[in-house]
Amino acid sequence: MYQVPNYTQTVSMKLSEVLADIGVDERIVMKKRRKWLLMESMININDQLLGVIDKLTFFFGSQSECTTTDGMGSDLDQLVCSKGYPVIQDWSDWLPGLNNFLMIQDNSVSPGYCLLQFLRSDAPLPVDGEANQCFFMDRTGKLLLKNSLVSITNRNGLELHGPAQARKGQRGYPDIDHVFALYCTTWPQQARRWLDQQGEGQWPYSEMKQYCSRTGCFVVGVGCSGSEHEQFEWRISTSFAERCLMFNLNITQIRCYVLMKIILKTFINPLFKDVITSFMCKTVLFHCISKTCSNIWRENNLLSCLSLCLYLLYNNIINEHCPHFIIPGNNLMRGKISPAVKPYILEILNNIIYSEGVALLGINCDHLGFRLHDKFYNFCLIKTSDFISGFLYFSMASEISKKLMNTYNHLKDSCPNEAVEILKNILSKSVNCKYEGIDKTASHLLLPWYCTTLGSVLASLNIYQYNTVSADALKLISLGLNTDVASSKLKLASILYCVQEIQKTDLVLSEIEKRYDLHIVEPICCCNENENELPRQGFFELCDNHNEEVIRYTTASCVTFLPCELHCVPAELRYEMFRSTQEDRKVRTRQDNKWMDFAVVDFPPLPLLSTIQD
């Protein structure tokens, strides 16, 4: 890389092109964010419809913010919030009938942390109780909730990462960090000064701060390292506010953060793991944006912006002080950097800052160095961004399939009449909810599956009682015929076959075969963890040019029949529902339980269609 006029701008533009090629561009970022917001909404809607009203699920961190790449292999941060244990900061916010916790933020508690005092459910008063494995009584008689509750409730034997329970991802999917949290509807006291502060860059804007102030906060079960209250402290998390800040960054700011994380992964983590974290890098970026004019954050200035952030990180490490952006009293570097490793990290950063971009050529993550080198010679490189939309929508279809399998397990021991009432109740709730925005889109993707299932259960009852299918059952099935390319239509074909409507069966199967393009349609199955082949090129192309609705025309989920749908199942398949013995059930794995009591047909069964039609 030779010195040329406008060298920094040239490198910045080439670097921006490379990052766009690996998926860090406006269009892909928006698609990814929408995908995770839809998944979040679908999970919460599904739980609500099944009567799970005591928890909410959220996705935070790099996957949902779209500040990661395939090469980084980032975990998915899933926060599960309990609604039954409200956290309050003022006695006037106490809620009757619930186990309230008072957030204590005095001088004895580390900045950015709090203690949780247990309150009575019948009056706004402290609980008079005794210490046990969940509670500790301090010198003043306050009953405090231990943060070790996370490990106590870890019944699945998952690996603990601080406040998170780590679950190994299914092949092709990221590992998941499950974080248990309690929610406080009010903005934390320790962050109230931040609402009034304004940096030189006038960022965050006043509208953003007003929104943040209404998001409340979470508390998660981890104490400040070295604190005398480490076992009882809970970390205050402003994840909703941080999501707002991240969603308001421009593409250059996002690329700058991604580069910082790639540098961390390449040059620092292999030698000094967990000393400098990606959250520190995010905090540094926030501080840089707030202290600079917005017009410097341009594509042709990316290298200078990166150097600015790395220089601030360098100074933070020298001083061992990185103040949390929203709660400045919380020093993120407190006790993190030992004197032995500090000079080596500083030397690494110093070399990168003064290399004028040359150090980036040594980055193997996402072949970034190789791609950057070849950009200067105008070589044509494969754009991984072209494949990202396909993987996004493939995983979305898989997640819908998993949610449905959870619902099927909820119904598997129900008799047909009970299943009908449960499903009618689910659909009735969905009508009353009147979803809007992203929730409305999520419900449109999810609810037609329930219509098909209810129609099929009703049809099974009809066939058993009258050897025919009612108009109500057929209407419900028709509402779900476009859930995907084939599975709901195959259910209809199966029902028609069971009542000897052979001609109609033939028409439905012909329609399926017409729509099932082998160059486009991807089979979806969540019954096992077998590694999937790379999706078809036609699937990638369609997904890249459409929104999430494309999964209706490009995916085919496995066809699942519940025991209460027995009379809709061809005789040849009914034996599938009786494959298990009581002894077998005792030794099943959690994965086996998903489908072993059902009749399930994987896709594509196309070679069979012409045989059935003949």
Interval 409-439: pLDDT, tens: 888 889 999 999 999 999 999 888 889 999 9
Check residues 288 and 164 and name the one with the higher pLDDT. Answer: 288
DSSP element (H, E) containing 493: helix 487-498
What is the percent of the chain where pLDDT is above 90? 66
Q: Confirm if 562 and 411 have CB atoms less than 8 A apart.
A: yes
Q: Confirm if 191 and 323 have CB atoms less than 8 A apart.
A: no
Residues 259 and 269 reside in one and the same domain: yes
The mean-pLDDT minimum among 367-371, 386-390, 517-521 falls in 386-390
pLDDT at 407: 87
> What is the pLDDT averaged over residues 88-101?
94
Residues 363 and 442 reside in one and the same domain: no
Domain assignment present for 185: yes
Number of H helices, E strands in the chain: 22, 15
Check residues 562 and 229 and name the one with the higher pLDDT. Answer: 562
Residues 88 and 229 reside in one and the same domain: yes
The mean-pLDDT minimum among 238-242, 279-283, 470-474, 537-541 falls in 537-541
Count the domains in the chain.
3
Residues 131 and 188 reside in one and the same domain: yes
pLDDT at 89 exceeding the cut of 50: yes
Residues 427 and 359 reside in one and the same domain: no
pLDDT at 601: 81
Domain assignment present for 359: yes
Residues 333 and 396 reside in one and the same domain: no
pLDDT at 170 exceeding the cut of 90: no
Q: Confirm if 83 and 218 have CB atoms less than 8 A apart.
A: no
**Of 247, 281, 313, which one is at a domain's C-terminal end?**
247
Domain assignment present for 35: no
pLDDT digits (tens, 9 = 90+) for 296-329: 999 999 999 999 999 999 999 999 999 999 999 9
Strands (E) across 128-206 are located at 135-137, 143-145, 159-161, 164-167, 176-184
Q: How many CA atoms lie within 13 A of 130 on its CB side?
A: 1
Residues 308 and 369 reside in one and the same domain: yes
**Of 349, 380, 411, which one is at a domain's C-terminal end?**
380
Residues 217 and 281 reside in one and the same domain: no
Domain assignment present for 40: no
pLDDT digits (tens, 9 = 90+) for 142-156: 899 998 875 545 445
> What is the pLDDT averaged over residues 578-595?
62
pLDDT at 409: 85
Q: Confirm if 482 and 585 have CB atoms less than 8 A apart.
A: no
d(CA 125, CA 119): 6
pLDDT at 431: 85
Domain assignment present for 29: no
Domain extent at residue 504: 385-613
pLDDT digits (tens, 9 = 90+) for 208-259: 999 999 999 999 999 988 888 888 899 999 999 999 999 999 999 999 999 9
Residues 486 and 540 reside in one and the same domain: yes
Domain assignment present for 300: yes
pLDDT digits (tens, 9 = 90+) for 272-302: 988 999 999 999 999 999 999 989 999 999 9
* CB environment 85-122: b (16+ within 10 A), e (fewer): bbbbbeeebbeeeeebbbbbbeeebbbbbbbbbbbeee
Give φ, ψ of 374 to 5 degrees: -75, -20
> What is the pLDDT averaged over residues 9-19?
95
pLDDT at 587: 62
Domain assignment present for 38: no
Please name the residue that has the structure tokens 């969603």.
Answer: 247
Residues 226 and 144 reside in one and the same domain: yes
pLDDT at 165: 57
pLDDT at 578 exceeding the cut of 90: no
Check residues 576 and 393 and name the one with the higher pLDDT. Answer: 393
pLDDT at 557 exceeding the cut of 80: yes
Domain assignment present for 223: yes
Rounded to the nearest integer, the mean pLDDT of the chain is 88
The mean-pLDDT minimum among 379-388, 509-518, 558-567 falls in 379-388
pLDDT band at 189 (very low <50, low <70, confident <90, very high): very high
pLDDT band at 364 (very low <50, low <70, confident <90, very high): very high
pLDDT at 572: 79
CA distances to 112, 349, 496, 567 from 570, rounded to whole Å, are 61, 67, 10, 8
CA distances to 21, 31, 72, 546 from 26, rounded to whole Å, are 12, 9, 19, 15
pLDDT at 496 exceeding the cut of 80: yes
Residues 234 and 275 reside in one and the same domain: no
Q: What is the CATH number of the domain that holds 339?
A: 1.10.1410.40
pLDDT at 574: 83
pLDDT at 590: 53
pLDDT band at 453 (very low <50, low <70, confident <90, very high): very high
DSSP string covering 259-310, please? HHHHHIIIIITTTSTTTS-HHHHHHHHHHHHHHS-GGG--GGGHHHHHHHHH
Question: Counting Cβ atoms within 10 Å, is residue 432 exposed (0-12), middle (13-18) or buried (19+)?
Answer: exposed
The mean-pLDDT minimum among 51-60, 131-140, 417-426 falls in 131-140
pLDDT at 158: 47
pLDDT at 174: 64
pLDDT at 582: 63
**Of 205, 226, 247, which one is at a domain's C-terminal end?**
247
pLDDT band at 500 (very low <50, low <70, confident <90, very high): very high
Q: What's the first-to-final CA gap in the chain, in angstroms?
A: 67
The size of the chain, in residues, is: 614
pLDDT band at 608 (very low <50, low <70, confident <90, very high): very low
Residues 355 and 462 reside in one and the same domain: no
pLDDT band at 594 (very low <50, low <70, confident <90, very high): low
pLDDT at 167 exceeding the cut of 80: no
pLDDT at 614 exceeding the cut of 50: no
